Amino acid sequence: MTAMLLATTLLLPHGLSYDGAWLWPVQTRSVEREFAPPTDPYGPGHRGVDLPGRAGETVVAVATGTVTFAGDVAGVATVTVDHGVERSTYQPVRATVSAGDAVQAGQPIGALLAGHPSCRTTCLNLGRLRGDDYLDPAALLGADDVRLISPDGPPPSPPSWEPEGIVNLLGGPVTSPFGMRRHPVTGEVKLHDGVDLGAACGTPVPALLAGTVTFSAHRGAYGEQVELAHGDGRVTSYSHLSSREVRAGDRVEAGHVIGRVGTTGMSTGCHLHLMLLIDGTPVDPLSAGGAG
């Protein structure tokens, strides 16, 4: 029996997790139109799930794999990623990857386009295939996170945000609030899309809430950044880190150390730049009214 289990493990394709769990490819964790398989290969049905999003929003790979297609299918911009046993498809998505590229879970693969015909507003059609068979993607996205949206009613309001604990997250002061300001490096007047918390370089940075890591890499002016999705369209990000201690796809609890304070990217000194996004829009993390 042990030998059989070992053989089964060795036969699993590289990069495919044993439980097969998928990350959410867009920030909103809700389903506008659910899976409705056709009764025959050419019959009517809905061969995927529609996930609400914003035009231009980054779409990430649901799992580690290899891009097998990036182009148009019947005039619809499409990306397909092979995960070994199964494949994921993303429409309509303007690809930033090419066929043959290896991608990690949570890695950006393109930008969401408007115009998917079965949605009231912009949405991503996510497909799941095993061979020629269409399967329900929502089964791998995590049933506890799926929230169906009525196609006839308005989109649900985002949940209220409790800012308690943010100021004391690192034990240091708020050195720059959310809002318009003159950038200390470029001199440009623009939105400061988060709050800066002062702390010494190397200070552990805990996750504000439980969530799934959707990004953990260097991101331009933000420097080393970790991004967590918390459900219902809420995302927090932690920037200018000196080090990152989690990877895309990791599930973390509130208080788990995800990195350490630094001054990477476009920064004038050691601090944490903390952002809160709701459905992709930055809001003031310290203002419950602005996020509820």
Which candidate, 103, 118, 117, 14, places its Cα nearest to that of 59? 103
- Residue-level length of the chain: 292
What is the distance between the alpha carbons of residues 207 and 45, in angstroms, rounded to a whole number? 41
Calculate the alpha carbon distances from 271 to 41, 165, 213 in Å: 56, 17, 21
Calculate the alpha carbon distances from 219 to 16, 102, 216 in Å: 26, 19, 9
pLDDT given for residue 32 in this prediction = 81
Query: Which amino acid is present at 13?
Result: P
Q: Which residues contact 257 (CB under 8 A, 6 or more apart)?
A: 204, 205, 206, 207, 245
What is the distance between the alpha carbons of residues 166 and 171, in angstroms, rounded to a whole number? 9
pLDDT given for residue 41 in this prediction = 62
- Start-end of CATH 2.70.70.10 domains in the chain: 15-145, 174-291
Which candidate, 285, 31, 271, places its Cα nearest to that of 148? 31
pTM for this predicted structure: 0.50
Six-digit token pair at 87? 């494949």
> Distance between the two ends of the chain, CA-based, in angstroms?
54
Q: 282: buried, middle or exposed (CB in 10 Å: 19+, 13-18, 0-12)?
A: middle
Its sign, for the CA torsion 78, 140, 216, 213, is positive
What is the pairing mode between strands 87-91 and 123-130? Answer: antiparallel
CA atoms within 13 A on the CB side of 73: 11
Question: Contact 272/196 with Cβ under 8 angstroms?
Answer: yes
Q: What angle do CA 37, 38, 42 make, to 5 degrees?
A: 140
pLDDT string in tens for the chain (292-residue length): 333 333 333 333 333 333 457 888 988 777 888 888 766 666 666 788 899 888 888 899 998 899 999 999 988 999 999 998 899 999 999 999 999 999 988 889 999 998 877 777 789 999 999 888 888 888 887 534 444 444 555 555 444 455 556 767 887 888 999 888 887 777 788 888 899 999 999 999 999 888 888 888 898 889 999 998 887 678 899 999 999 999 888 888 888 999 999 999 999 899 999 998 877 788 888 874 433 3
Please tell me whether the peptide bond between 92 and the residue prior to it is cis, using omega within 30 degrees of 0.
yes
Q: Which CATH number fits domain 15-145: 1.10.357.10, 2.70.70.10, 2.60.120.10, 2.102.10.10?
A: 2.70.70.10
Fold of the 174-291 domain: Glucose Permease (Domain IIA) (2.70.70)
What is the pairing mode between strands 49-52 and 123-130? Answer: antiparallel
